[in-house]
Every structure is written in structure tokens, then in C-alpha cells.
Structure 1
């Protein structure tokens, strides 16, 4: 269906692909993986024809339709979310736009003189809309948007008023409604809450076309893909299986390659020792010559290319008192909408609470109340004795000083720390070499998140309040963070849509639902087993 045939692609400063080949066949669901900057987005752009390989070719079968979702959604305004999603469905979207204009004209008293013409045209356009299956399409568009957690009001409002994250969902919805022969999805799981993520998972499992996607969510990949294509060192390597299989197989391959390399190095050392010992003796001249020729012909094994993997070890946090935070009779609302009313909640030392609930349930509001970023309308929030709090929010990334470099940001946060320890810290969070000299204003979302997280964890608090800490983090950095937090000795309160993060780190669940607030002993895994659902907005 889509073939990459011995492609070579070079940017101004590095080779992304060298004589690399791979294929996407009908019905295959493939995860595309590789370190940041390996060329995943470039690969997508070559398949869509936005870029061309320097050598080799990208062959796409005739009549194959391709839908491509990426993080750059462009400008959206002037239409409803439903109309924007339907826009990806071809001619019917133009007819839908004209229908909307005519409906507005019929409701306009100033157009009374033209009403006969407007009504006549409306009849013609409506018939064409029906003929193209427009009403059925609109129903499907609303179904997709509902799956992505849009309310009816949001569906019918101007898309221009939505935040960047919601516009991303509209752009994703457009591709899903299109149902092309091949779908290319670049990080579709970013910006989605857990309910939307699980809905998308089910949608993609039932999708019959070919799928090639990247994701920083390992659970999401494991549940959908049946094949992995890895970009590493300019090569494309295919693995038949999900992400967990790929990880095991890759580790096994590396182990075998290392053993092969070491055996050959031992053999070479032995041969060279013989040559060195007997090269001056005429009696051994033919044997020495024979071994020299043999060594010249041997194909040398390379040691495995090891991905740079870093780990972060928490310095010991000071011990807090037993009661870390106590909320008493807390009420909080925005306008006429009450989020909490008479809410009592206590967090004790070493508890790790994950907060779950649909959009708007009050997850981030609770974290802000606990962190002191907002105050309750009534009631009290008391932080316990010797509690040193660290609060990570998306807002923290917006207040980085754009004129500072990464290293200057760390230096200003920790003026007493030595250069060596700060460079080691930067390296743990993916800033190696010249990366530490990047200005904060040019950092990507993921880089900003890593920098804020590094600043938060270097001089560790004994109470971490984390609002979606894994948004924007790649798989390797996320794994490093999870491993580090698993060894963390303090208390945690967090919101995350990453099920691996939830399952590994939580030992308590706070569930916010319209029917009430529920507390569960045991972590996310126990919560799923007990309730039969992976998120509060879903029903078993």
C-alpha cells in the first residue's frame, strides 16, 4: 500500500535516513518509535508528499487516500466545531457551509425582500446535502466529537474560541471522520483526557484501514498496534508485535549483538597476539601471512548502538509531619457553577493520591486549592508541619524567563549548586551538550516540561502536587520520571491520563463524579478491578 524504498534523507546537520526501507500494508496497525529528532515527523511528511527523500522513493498505491494528523493544526475560526470536522469529508462540507449561511439569512429580518429566492435556494442545497448523506455525516461528526469529550454547546460554538488543546481534538476528529485508507497520526494521544483516550483506542481498534502512528503513551500503543517500526541511526527496523514485545526483543537483540561483538574481539585479540609473537620468525612466515589475510577478510561486528538512557536519583527529602494537607468544609465555584461543596479531605504522609474525573469535574481546581494557587470560597485548607511542597502545573511552563538559557534557569534556581551537578541534572532530563545553551523561548512544550520538572525535583520537596506531569514527555523521559518517582520517599497528589503512570505510582484514588466524591484505598490497578472501569466517565 505504502512502501519506503531505500530512502536517504539528510537535514543541514545530520543524516536522518540512510538506504532505509519499510512498508505499510492494508489493515496493519503500526507504531513508529525512535528518540526525539530521529525523523518520525519527517517520515510522515515524506509519505504525504510534503517532503521528498534525497535518494530512494516513497511509493503510494494509486487511489489510496491518506489522512494525516499532526500537532500543527493551523488557524481555525468562523465555523462551528461540527462544521470544521465535516470539512475533512470532501464536497459535502461546502454544501453544509452554504446551508448554514442560508439558515442565517432566513432568520435575518433585513433579508425579508429576498426571502423567496433564499428559500428556493435552501431547498436545492438541502436536497443536495441529503443526496450526499450530509445528515448522516453530521450525526457521525457529533459522535466523534462526543467521543473526544465535546459537549453539545462546544460542538455548535465557534471553533476559534477554543483553546489550542481543543483545536487539536477538532483536527483529530476531522481525520477520524474522513476514515481514509491510511491514517498517519503524529501524537494523537497528547491533549486527551483518559475518557477520550479510551474512546479513541476503541475507535482505532475498529478502524479497518492502515494505521501508522507515534505516541508517548505505551499503554495506548500496546492496545492498538501489532507491529513496531523503529527509527534508529538512520535505519528502519520492523518488529512484529506490540510495544512491550518490541522492548523485550530490542533488549534481546542488543544482548546477542554485544555477545557476538565480545566473542569476535576475543578471537581477534588471540590472532593478533599470535601474529605479533611470530611475525619475525621465518619458520612461521606462512602461518603469520595466512592469519593476516584471514583477518583482512573478516567482517567486523559492531557493538550495539546504545540509546543514551539516563536515570535520576532523588536526594533524600526532609520528613514531613503525618498530616500533610487537611481540607475542611471546602466550597469552591466559578460563577454559578459549584465545583466543591462542604468537601472534607485529608492526605497523610507517604500517601500517593491520583485524582480522577471527567473534564470539568474539578481535578486541577483541587490541586490549585492544595497548592495555594487558588483559595476556597469557604472552608479551610491547612498544610501540615514541616511540609515542603513542589507544585507542577502547565502554567509553570508559561512563566519561564524566555531570555534565560536552560543552564541559566537552573543556575538562578540553585545558585549554591556546582556547575557539574547542574549539568548532570540537565543531562538526566534530556539536555546534553549544547542543549543547555538553548534559550527558554525556543524550547518545545516537552523541553519546557522537562526543565520545570528538573527544577522541581533537584532540591526535592516532601510533598509533590503534579498536574499532568507527563504531557509532552517522550517515552524515555517518561520512563525515567516514573522510575525516579517510584523510589521517591515523600507524599504525592497528582492528575494524569497516562495509565502506566497511574498504575505504577498511585496507592490511593480520589474519584470526582456528578453523583459524589469517592475515595478508594489501593491504587489505580485496584480501582479498575473494583469498579470495572478505567475512568469515571466510562461505564462497564
Structure 2
């Protein structure tokens, strides 16, 4: 258990936590939600011991080991990916240290309790032989998208995204009791994310998870903590259930607020009447004190319905774009070859492939950014293309206001339509006068999307438009693109976004690719596999890519069952012994003697059954180890 008592913390002039009392059950899988800036990352740092409270206390139950994954951390290591991950096996180091400590104590003082502890540690060490740890490292790295060749690559040569995968792999190797995850899926593609979700499902550990993906939170979390206005509240269920309950709570709060306002208004009217009467002035004063003591209900802003008014997309030819035998090389490295794709009007196609296999490159070929490809790419008649790149916000003028910038790039300069679209993307009122330089990454992303949609294009090529967006902003963007009556080819690593927007999935491969009809779930059903990124490796989604974690969960469960059975055996043996001792007190043939025989037989029969079960569990346990 992690317990916060009267916890308060301010960053600058903003209260992140305001006298918060909270218990985090380290056996549970918990989502942590809140608007950007609510303090989610701060709470994780507090739990990890990397920040101190201004007031109050935070306590971690003794013996609970905690693993922490920050949003970004730069690895500086000359070791290979494999060796760096192997070094993260903290459980092995912890067990060895504990064994050495117990050996030292036993040399100086022999105690049965120390012997039992030492034997348990030695049993656990049998799980962590070098060969077993190497297999764990290999399976985790494969699941996280590393090929055999990449495993031998120095960590120092990796990009930030791949480096974060190494950090994540190290954390998985730590064997912690409880994990603190700050957006662990940020740098994962869809297939790797699928693996990661299944892996976490199979772990016996609890965790506190910050993530901007509804699918991940719903798939993994059994409860949700919301941070809002410096307070923390726990809801049952994943993100969707939290939103449903939150909506009901808000409706009830507005009803209570209206009732309270009516009550205050009525009492104030009575007070005014009583004040006019000299005989009732004292009563009026007492009533006023009572009204002033009422704890006023504070209302949060009402959630605004999403309304999108997109410019109409002019009708294009039926065939929007045709790619024939397209290939692309970076120097001597062949990214893909022999790619054929026909894009038809109205299709919304998601590109799916592991990171680094050419999705952004293909989009660059389609939108004209890259021209040195082989083969041909042809746009149809009346096609007007607009694109969104991952680094789109790099072109923003940091010194202009939001409204000034959009005004300067909009084709027709229609101020009313510009204001309407900005409002749809959550830029309202005085927000439009903010300088671009002070905007967050998510706000800049939304601003860039507004400029793309204002161009009046009927063919959109979008490279990770969901980057840096929170769940609410993704829902706004999704609603806009669902309403768009043109054609879209896009890349996104958000499962829900792809699932709800895509009409087709194009699986990009080194030798071309294949187009699948339907959304991402339909694509997974058709392919029946989750690609494990390595040369020609396909792994069943419910078997090999989570087998290692399942094995550890089985071992941990077996150990608990064996220990419980051993306690039961000891208790039954004591009962048998006590029953046998009672025979000397009763004469043969008496009713008491007969009852004693029956009781002894029951104890022995139960003991035999429990011993048989214990032997089966032991055999299963050691078969796994071998």
C-alpha cells in the first residue's frame, strides 16, 4: 500500500495536491487520469521518491519494491541493447544480496527462521539462472520490437524512442512488485502496443498507469484515480466506466447545486423580511450566520459538446491515387520495394507496420516530399492534397498569435469560419490570442490540424496526427476526420483512433504490402497473428509473446499454493497426533472410542489428499524450472 496523508504540493502558484488523503493498493492495476497539468507525472514522482511534499506524508508499505518509468530518459551506455537489458535484472541482484546477508547471519548465529528464509531465497534463485535470464531478456526485447541484429547494437546509437524501449525492457526485468508507468506506450507502434498490453495482463504485479489511450486503460485497469483541482478521487473500472460514472456524478452535482442555490435564495429572502421587523432582527442575524456556514458547492466547467464544421471537400475522381511498383532506398538500405496501392475516393486507410519500416517514408512519397523513389505515384483528376507531418509544428511562427497565424495561412481568410474551426479544436475566447510559443505540444498539434483542414483539400495524408494529444483532443480530431467527406491515408499508433477512423488497413512490408478491408480489429482477425518484429517472425497473440510472463505468474502462484498446502499438512499432522494420544483415555468398545476412530480416519484421509495435492504441485513446479 502507498498511503498519502494530508498531502499538499504546489508548483509555482499552482496547487497540484491540496490536502489529499489517498490509499493506492499496490496489488491493483490502476489508471491515473486528469487534464494536462493536473499533476499526474508529479504524483508518480512522489510515489517513486523523486519529489518531496510541501506538507503531509507519503508512505510505502515495507517490502514493496517499486519500478518507475518516466516519460523520457536518455540512456548513456556503450553496452549492447541485450547486455543493457540483462543488467536490469534487479531481482537477481536483490536475491543474491539477500542470500549473502543470510549466509553471514547463519555463520554467526544458527536460527531455524534464518534457515527457512535462506532456503526460500535459494529456491527463487533457481528461477534466475543465467540461461533463464537470457531467455527472459530475449523474449521481452522481441516483444518490444527489437530484431536479433538490433539487440547487438550499442544503446548509444539508438534514437530516443528505441532507447525508451530499452528502459521499458529493463523495468520489465526488474521484477518489481508495483510499477509506476508515465505514458509507457508513447514510443510504441500498434503491434508492439498489443504485445505490451497482453504482457502486462499476464504479470502478477500491480501498477499505476498514466496513458492517453482509452483502449490501453480499458484493457488493463480495474480502477481509476482522477486528479482534478488538487484533489484525488478513485473510481471503479477502466477509463470508459470512469467517464460514465464521472458524467453521472456531474449531473447529480448540478442538481445538488441548484437545490442549494434555491435554499440559500429562500433563506436570504426570509432574512430580508425578518430584518424589517425589530422583533425578528436577532433571528435574522442568527439565520444569516447559518447561511454563511453552508459549505458552498463549487461547479466545474460543464463539458462542451464537440461540434465540428469542416469545409466541404470538393468531389475528386473515383481513383484518388495509384502507386505502382514503388520502392525506396535510404543509401544502400532498401526500405520497401514492389509496393502497389490503389486509393479510392472516400477511403480512410491506416498504414500499419513496426516503427522504422517506412510508414512515414511512404506518406512522404504520396504527398510529394520524397521524389527519389522507384516506380510511379499518380494522383487522380480534381485531387487536392494536404498533408500533416510529425514535425509540422516546426514551421509555426512562434511569435504570432493563434488567430494571426491561422489568418495568414487560410486560403480565403474567412474569419467566421476560422473562428468556428478553432473553437471546434478547443481554441475559444481569449485562447486565440495566445502566442504560439507558449503552447504545449498537444496545442500546437491541434493548431496545425486546423491549418490543414482549412486548405479545402479532398485528400489528406496525415503522419501521426494524434501525437502529444490527450484523450479529449483525440476525440475532437476523430470527430472531425470522421465527418470529413474526402479521402485519408494516415499513420497513428492510437488503437481506438485507428479502429474508429479506418475503413481499410494497409500492412506495409519490405516487399510491398497488402490492403485489408475493415478497421484494425477486423485486420487482426484476418491476419490472426501479432507480428513480432524480427526477420520473418510471427507470434500468436495469445501464446508465445506472453509465455514468459505467464510462466513467472504460474511459478509465483504455485509457490503460494505449495506454501499454503504445507501449512495445512502441518496442521493435519498435529490433529492426527492429538487424536492418537486420546486413545489412552477411552476404553475399547465405548461410544467415545468409536467416535475417536472415526475422527482419526477422517483426519488421515484428508491428510492423504492434501499430501497428494502437494506432491502434484511440487512436481509441476520443478517441471517448469527444468
Q: TM-score with structure 1 length normalisation?
A: 0.83
**2:563 counterpart residue number:** none
Aligned CA distance change for structure 1 residues 520 and 175 (closer, same or farther; 3 Å): same
Give how far 1:189 is off: 0.8
**1:162 counterpart residue number:** 158
Give how far 1:259 is off: 1.1
Classify the secondary structure of the residue corresponding to 2:52.
Answer: coil
Q: Which stretch of structure 1 is more off in the superposition, 456-465 or 310-319?
A: 310-319
1:450 pairs with 2:442: no
1:6 pairs with 2:6: yes
Aligned CA distance change for structure 1 residues 194 and 233 (closer, same or farther; 3 Å): same
Aligned CA distance change for structure 1 residues 502 and 38 (closer, same or farther; 3 Å): same
Q: Which stretch of structure 1 is more off in the superposition, 399-408 or 34-43?
A: 399-408
Contact 2:45 2:51 in 1 (8 A): yes
**2:200 counterpart residue number:** 204
Give how far 1:495 is off: 1.6
**1:242 counterpart residue number:** 238
Contact 1:67 1:183 in 2 (8 A): yes
Classify the secondary structure of the residue corresponding to 2:391.
Answer: helix
Contact 1:83 1:93 in 2 (8 A): no
**1:150 counterpart residue number:** 146
> What are the equivalent positions in structure 2 for 1:221-232 lying under 5 Å apart?
221-232=217-228
Classify the secondary structure of the residue corresponding to 1:374.
Answer: coil
Deviations 1:40-95 (A, max 9, x none): 1111111122211111111012232211111231242311112222333349789x
Contact 1:358 1:513 in 2 (8 A): no
Q: Which stretch of structure 1 is more off in the superposition, 35-44 or 422-431?
A: 422-431
Aligned CA distance change for structure 1 residues 180 and 280 (closer, same or farther; 3 Å): same
Q: Indicate which of 348, 363, 370 corresponds to 1:367.
A: 363
1:87 pairs with 2:83: no
> What are the equivalent positions in structure 2 for 1:139-538 lying under 5 Å apart?
139-276=135-272, 279-280=275-276, 292=288, 295-306=291-302, 312-335=308-331, 338-375=334-371, 377-401=373-397, 409-414=405-410, 417=413, 429=425, 437-438=434-435, 440=437, 444-513=440-509, 517-533=513-529
Classify the secondary structure of the residue corresponding to 1:314.
Answer: coil
Give how far 1:138 is off: 2.6
Give how far 1:249 is off: 0.2
In 2: Cα distance, 1:400 partner to 1:93 partner: 49
Aligned CA distance change for structure 1 residues 166 and 6 (closer, same or farther; 3 Å): same
Classify the secondary structure of the residue corresponding to 1:394.
Answer: coil
Contact 1:195 1:538 in 2 (8 A): no
Deviations 1:232-259 (A, max 9, x none): 0010000011111000000000001101
Q: Which stretch of structure 1 is more off in the superposition, 530-539 or 225-234?
A: 530-539
**1:102 counterpart residue number:** none
Structure 1 or 2, whichever has the larger Rg, is 2
In 2: Cα distance, 1:15 partner to 1:492 partner: 42
Contact 1:356 1:509 in 2 (8 A): yes
In 1: Cα distance, 2:154 partner to 2:396 partner: 31
Give how far 1:437 is off: 4.2
**2:129 counterpart residue number:** 133
In 2: Cα distance, 1:363 partner to 1:423 partner: 33
Contact 1:257 1:304 in 2 (8 A): no
Aligned CA distance change for structure 1 residues 445 and 287 (closer, same or farther; 3 Å): closer
Aligned CA distance change for structure 1 residues 405 and 171 (closer, same or farther; 3 Å): farther
In 2: Cα distance, 1:493 partner to 1:527 partner: 16
In 2: Cα distance, 1:262 partner to 1:199 partner: 48
1:66 pairs with 2:56: no
In 1: Cα distance, 2:307 partner to 2:93 partner: 50
Give how far 1:345 is off: 2.1
How many residue pairs were aligned?
505
**2:571 counterpart residue number:** none
Give how far 1:12 is off: 1.3
Contact 1:310 1:427 in 2 (8 A): no
Contact 1:8 1:18 in 2 (8 A): yes
**1:98 counterpart residue number:** none
**2:584 counterpart residue number:** none
Give how far 1:201 is off: 0.6
**2:24 counterpart residue number:** 24
Q: TM-score with structure 2 length normalisation?
A: 0.73
Contact 2:195 2:530 in 1 (8 A): no
Classify the secondary structure of the residue corresponding to 1:358.
Answer: coil
Q: Which stretch of structure 1 is more off in the superposition, 341-350 or 293-302?
A: 293-302
**1:121 counterpart residue number:** none
Deviations 1:334-372 (A, max 9, x none): 455555544332212211111223345443232122111
In 1: Cα distance, 2:386 partner to 2:36 partner: 28
* RMSD value, Cα: 3.3
Deviations 1:148-190 (A, max 9, x none): 1011111111111111111111111111111211110000010
Structure 2: stretches of 5+ with no match in the other structure: 95-124, 533-537, 542-626
In 2: Cα distance, 1:490 partner to 1:276 partner: 63
Classify the secondary structure of the residue corresponding to 2:87.
Answer: helix
Classify the secondary structure of the residue corresponding to 2:59.
Answer: strand
In 1: Cα distance, 2:459 partner to 2:434 partner: 31
Give how far 1:293 is off: 6.0
Give how far 1:445 is off: 4.0
Aligned CA distance change for structure 1 residues 181 and 525 (closer, same or farther; 3 Å): closer
In 2: Cα distance, 1:2 partner to 1:323 partner: 58
